[in-house]
Amino acid sequence: MNQQPAHIGQIPPEQVYASLQAGPEGLTPSEVAERLLHIGPNSFEVVDRWKLARTLGRQFTNFFALLLIISAAICFVAHRINPEEGMGMLGWALIVVALLNALFSFIQEYRAEKAMEALKKFIPHLVEVCRDGRISRIPAAEIVPGDVVILSEGDKIAADLRIVAADGLMIDNAPLTGESAAIRLTPQMQEKSLEECENIGFAGCTVIKGTGRGVVFATGLRTRFGRIAQLSQTIRRTSSPLEREISRMIRILTTIACTMGFSFFLYGMLSGKPLWMNLVFMMGIIVANVPEGLLPTLTLALVMGSLRMAKKNVLVTSLNAVEALGAVHVICTDKTGTLTMNQLTITRLAEPLTGAAMTPEQEHALAALALAASDVRQAGDQLLGDPLDVAVANKWIGLHPGQQLAEAQQVMRFFAFDVDKRRSGGIVRMGEQHLFVVKGAFEAVRPMVSAIGSCEDNEKNAPLADQLAASEIVMQQLASQGLRVIAVAYRPLAQAELAEVVATANSPTDEVAADALEHDLILAGFLGIEDPVRPEVASAVAKCRTAGIKVIIITGDHPATTMAVAAKAGIVEPGCTAHLTGEALKTLTVEALVEQLQQGVCVFARTSPEQKMKIVTALKHMDLVVAMTGDGVNDAPALRAADIGIAMGTMGTDVARESAQIILLDDNFASIVDGVEEGRTVFANMKKFTSYVLVSNGPEILPYLLYIVLPVPLALNIIHILAIDLGTDLVPSMGLGQEPSDPEVMRKPPRNPSESLLTRELMVRSYLFLGLIEGAWSLLLFFLVLHNGGWRYGNPLPPSSPLLHSATGVTLAAILLMQIGNLIGRRFEQNSGLDLGLVRNRLILAGILIQLVLSWAILYWPPLARALGTGPVAPEIYGLAWLGIALIFAVDYLRKMLVKRGRKG
């Protein structure tokens, strides 16, 4: 009695389709719909029921929130000591402020998460499948058991598959096993456990070489990868540099607040003031130093920056990458598809010895040979495959109008492009012969060539070395014209050789058998491929140069081709020949490479993905922030090693995209430069609203310092401070966070990556210059109202005094109005801030309007005045408060002019 197979890996390949109620032609639309309804989408997301609760709880554990909560607790203690002073109400006010601040931060973080989810939909994970006899690309979430999936190099396997066809198919099982080792897959049945079977492709793993087909037998959380996802939902991510910088800023401001508050609390106790008064004073100092609305505004700035980047075809996979891109010193870019349009067109079929144009018969034969070493699939009217292979197929179709691509030849074996060998190959039947064909870089093909000639004539009289030298000249001439040059060579196969290759297909000795064929080849000719430089690249490179950013080309293409493209793009001067090849890089140490980079070398040709890592390492040794582009499987290590990994969204592999922090939706170099500009703008805006918020701390702190040192009334209470920080400063801060790019932002060198948001210069300007001006002017009006009302120095005033209410009201109104001048001044580092951009920023206009209306309402609208404990003043006094706008704006602009003149000097 035959034993039943334990799992699908133990089933012969011819029985796999039947076991999954499918067929080689794939599922029909009705079958797909039925299975999708019963089984659900192919999703690995695990529902975390407590995620929102944890996110909300986290908002109450930062230093600012804890300070407010502790302050509220102290207020409740003070209320127990002296209930008549109303400290209990203040405590509840602080609790409400902490709650509102946490809710606002939670909403912004939630919006940020939803925005990132929406952005990721820009590049859905697409999978190539065969359904109802047609090949198409569908979102991975729509895969169902029974689907026939086509695998190619660089693909991320979207569901658990049983392999039914393989051609040199190798995968990396690291996502499941943790061991990054290549495993060759085969369609043959195996008597092993499912995890050990070499005929199973597991979801989450990547194809690192070859092609194949597999039938889906598990999707979503039913896959091995899905089960791991369920177990890993509690894993916490590490904090990013920006998050650590924000935490540092919070610690500094909290330390300042606590140190000042506690120091003056001790001073008050030593000077004999009542305990409740000292507690009030300490709370005022602490609350005045805490910018309650700063954290949610920082999150909002990053969210808006990421959305603006997406509109410029730059997709960030984490919010912190928005700001990080702005600090880049060097952009290492590929050539094909990034600097060029990736519209490969074969414009020359050149005779290998003279470079002369071929006869029509020779062109037909060379195109057929090149097609034999190409892997192209047809999905409707679209050709799928590597851009070079698609260009070869298009050339063959152009030479054979009316014929189908499937009629081209009978390809028996295809050997996928090998990055290290820089060539691909195939075995094709032409007439009565079987030919082994190689297509690749001339340097890679040249050692295998034993004869040169057209497909019909390989009788040559000159020595082989002279013929190869002549071919080298032809190749160099084509490359110097900016053409990508591909050599095509072949040789007939004996029956014994053919039988051996067929017998070893998909076996461990498959590559060895293929390597054994690579000798005694006949060089058939050259393909000259044109890929025009994108029209916007030259201006983008010039923009980089102005911004102090160095652009480096790292490509596997020929040096002459690369130099021609670099000159057209403006990366090097026309006629420049300074470059390094992969061969030269092999012999250079990192230190020697650093010297070459310091001497200005910015073109690297014929490089391997491993050498990209070496270049990144050398640049990092120079303390430079490096952005690296990549699209292939082997680019993943370099993308991870760079400070900013940038993957191609159109031509990039799944592996490259998952290794990068940024994805270019249009694969365009100019989009990188737009992203750098946006990143610089986001960081600049963060500094703008941080400075804006801290300026108001000065006039909030100063009244408490005078109150504890001098026998004068308290000009502002804690409610007034909270009204400024959360009521009136919040909207203008959000407006500064959405300011467009300063025209000067790309004319400055990259910022130091260690530069802090909270610099010494910013704190001195905010606290000791602008903050003091606001404090001095507002307190001048405070004492003017008191003096006009009959108060004299040293006389006490009860908290219920109408005169004190009026003086407090004008102090608060003056701060609100002066913050308008501060707001306009913070828009630019050097310019005045008065331009058309001011009226285009709706949030800034709304913030100004709110401050204007509230400055009047706190004085003259009884309901608000009663709530805040303020009162009216004479119109001329209110007019003086308005002068504060011009005062702070003028003094700040004078400072800018002096700084600008000093920098020029």
Type of residue numbered 160: D
Task: Give the model confidence (pLDDT) of 797-833 as tens digits.
Answer: 888 899 999 999 999 999 999 999 999 999 988 888 8
Residue 86 has pLDDT above 70, yes or no: no
Instruction: State the number of CA atoms in the 13 A half-sphere of 843 facing the CB.
Output: 19
pLDDT computed for residue 354 by the predictor: 87
Report which secondary-structure segment, H or E, holds 315: strand 314-316
Q: How far is CA 740 from the centre of its chain?
A: 20
d(CA 742, CA 836): 13
Whether 731 and 847 have beta carbons less than 8 Å apart is answered as: yes
pLDDT computed for residue 234 by the predictor: 42
Rounded average pLDDT over 91-95 = 77
Rounded average pLDDT over 536-551 = 93
Among candidate residues 234, 181, 238, the one with its CA nearest the CA of residue 205 = 181
d(CA 372, CA 439): 9
Whether 428 and 435 have beta carbons less than 8 Å apart is answered as: yes
Q: 45: pLDDT confidence band, cut at 50, 70 and 90?
A: low
Mean of the per-residue pLDDT values of the chain: 84
- Indicate the pairing of strand 662-664 with strand 314-316: antiparallel
Rounded average pLDDT over 478-486 = 89
Rounded average pLDDT over 507-532 = 79
Whether 105 and 730 have beta carbons less than 8 Å apart is answered as: no
Among 675-684, 828-837, 839-848, 882-891, name the one with the lowest average pLDDT.
Answer: 828-837
Type of residue numbered 82: N
Counting residues of the chain whose pLDDT is more than 70, the rounded percentage is: 89
Residue 59 has pLDDT above 60, yes or no: yes
Listed ranges 192-196, 235-239, 449-453; the one with the highest mean pLDDT: 449-453
pLDDT computed for residue 447 by the predictor: 92
Whether 711 and 291 have beta carbons less than 8 Å apart is answered as: no
Residue 145 has pLDDT above 50, yes or no: yes
What are 501's two structure tokens? 């290759």
- How many other C-beta atoms can be found within 10 angstroms of the C-beta atom of residue 63? 19
Rounded average pLDDT over 680-698 = 90
Compute φ and ψ for 209, nearest 5 degrees. Answer: -170, 150
- Indicate the pairing of strand 160-172 with strand 433-440: unpaired
What are 492's two structure tokens? 């007939």
Among 261-270, 625-634, 838-847, name the one with the lowest average pLDDT.
Answer: 625-634
Q: Which of 155, 167, 172, 334 is catalytic?
A: 334
Residue 15 has pLDDT above 50, yes or no: yes
Number of H helices, E strands in the chain: 35, 24
Whether 112 and 305 have beta carbons less than 8 Å apart is answered as: no
Type of residue numbered 361: E
pLDDT computed for residue 732 by the predictor: 92
pLDDT computed for residue 503 by the predictor: 67
pTM > 0.85: no
Classify 138 as helix, strand or coil. Answer: strand
Spell out the residues 6+ positions from residue 166 whose beta carbon is closer than 8 angstroms to its own. 185, 186, 187, 210, 211, 212, 213, 506
Compute φ and ψ for 45, nearest 5 degrees. Answer: -75, 135
pLDDT computed for residue 119 by the predictor: 55
pLDDT computed for residue 220 by the predictor: 86
Among candidate residues 10, 676, 845, the one with its CA nearest the CA of residue 327 = 676
pLDDT computed for residue 888 by the predictor: 96
Counting residues of the chain whose pLDDT is more than 90, the rounded percentage is: 30
Respond yes or no: is residue 674 known to be catalytic. Answer: no
Q: How far is CA 703 from the centre of its chain?
A: 46
Sign of CA pseudo-dihedral 310, 314, 317, 319: negative
Q: How far is CA 409 from the centre of its chain?
A: 44
Which residues is 314 bridged to in the sheet? 664
pLDDT computed for residue 292 by the predictor: 66
Q: 405: pLDDT confidence band, cut at 50, 70 and 90?
A: confident
Among 293-302, 568-577, 595-604, name the one with the lowest average pLDDT.
Answer: 293-302
Classify 434 as helix, strand or coil. Answer: strand
pLDDT computed for residue 785 by the predictor: 96
Residue 239 has pLDDT above 70, yes or no: no
pLDDT computed for residue 766 by the predictor: 92
Task: Give the model confidence (pLDDT) of 746-767 as tens digits.
Answer: 988 998 777 788 888 999 999 9
Spell out the residues 6+ positions from residue 482 whose beta carbon is closer than 8 angstroms to its own. 530, 561, 564, 565, 568
Q: Which own/partner contact pairs does 499-504 have at CB distance under 8 Å and 24+ positions apart? A: 501/413, 501/427, 502/412, 502/413
pLDDT computed for residue 457 by the predictor: 47
pLDDT computed for residue 62 by the predictor: 67
Among 346-355, 373-382, 548-557, name the one with the lowest average pLDDT.
Answer: 373-382
- Indicate the pairing of strand 484-492 with strand 433-440: antiparallel
Among 92-96, 555-559, 588-592, name the one with the lowest average pLDDT.
Answer: 92-96
Residue 124 has pLDDT above 80, yes or no: no
Q: 577: pLDDT confidence band, cut at 50, 70 and 90?
A: confident
pLDDT computed for residue 455 by the predictor: 39
Residue 371 has pLDDT above 60, yes or no: yes
Q: Look at 417 and 782; give whichever has higher pLDDT.
A: 782
Among 47-56, 108-117, 483-492, 788-797, name the one with the lowest average pLDDT.
Answer: 108-117
The string of DSSP letters for 695-741 reads HTHHHHHHHHHHHHHSS---S--HHHHHIIIIIISHHHHHHHHT---
Spell out the residues 6+ positions from residue 590 whose beta carbon is closer than 8 angstroms to its own. 614, 617, 618, 621
pLDDT computed for residue 236 by the predictor: 46
Task: Give the model confidence (pLDDT) of 257-303 as tens digits.
Answer: 888 888 888 888 888 877 777 777 777 777 777 776 677 777 778 77
Report which secondary-structure segment, H or E, holds 247: helix 241-270
Among 421-430, 513-522, 628-637, 746-755, name the one with the lowest average pLDDT.
Answer: 628-637
Residue 772 has pLDDT above 70, yes or no: yes
Q: 744: pLDDT confidence band, cut at 50, 70 and 90?
A: confident
d(CA 680, CA 438): 47
pLDDT computed for residue 100 by the predictor: 74
Compute φ and ψ for 444, nearest 5 degrees. Answer: -80, -30
Among 125-129, 290-294, 525-529, 773-777, name the one with the lowest average pLDDT.
Answer: 290-294
